[in-house]
């Protein structure tokens, strides 16, 4: 069991949502063979970060997490 202090709960939820979206994107790009596992598993380069941002915009209505609510974060 993990206890999350109430004042940190929103931050934890947002971080986990962002992590999930990054994982979905990374797995998709690996299946497409656009990037290697080494590129996805390491700190992302600026081109990958830009690709992720574009991917979020293009798929905003089909994502399991509502990305526009994460923009404030």
pLDDT tens profile 6-26:
999 989 988 999 999 999 999
How wide is the angle at C-alpha 9 spanned by C-alphas 58 and 55, nearest 5°?
A: 10
Positions of the chain with pLDDT under 70: 66-73
Percent of the chain with pLDDT over 70: 89
Does a structural domain hold residue 47?
Answer: yes
Does a structural domain hold residue 46?
Answer: yes
> Could you give the CA distance from residue 25 to residue 61 in angstroms, rounded to a whole number?
15
Count of beta carbons in the 10 Å neighbourhood of residue 56: 19
Does a structural domain hold residue 41?
Answer: yes
Does a structural domain hold residue 43?
Answer: yes
Within the chain, strands assigned E span: none
Count of beta carbons in the 10 Å neighbourhood of residue 8: 10
């Amino acid at each position: 069991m993990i206890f999350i202090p109430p004042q940190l709960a929103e931050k934890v939820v947002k971080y986990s949502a962002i992590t999930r979206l990054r994982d979905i994107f990374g797995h998709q790009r690996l299946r497409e063979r656009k990037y290697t596992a080494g590129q996805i598993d390491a700190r992302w380069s600026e081109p990958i970060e830009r690709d992720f941002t574009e991917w979020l915009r293009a798929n905003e209505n089909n994502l399991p997490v509502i990305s526009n609510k994460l923009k404030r974060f």
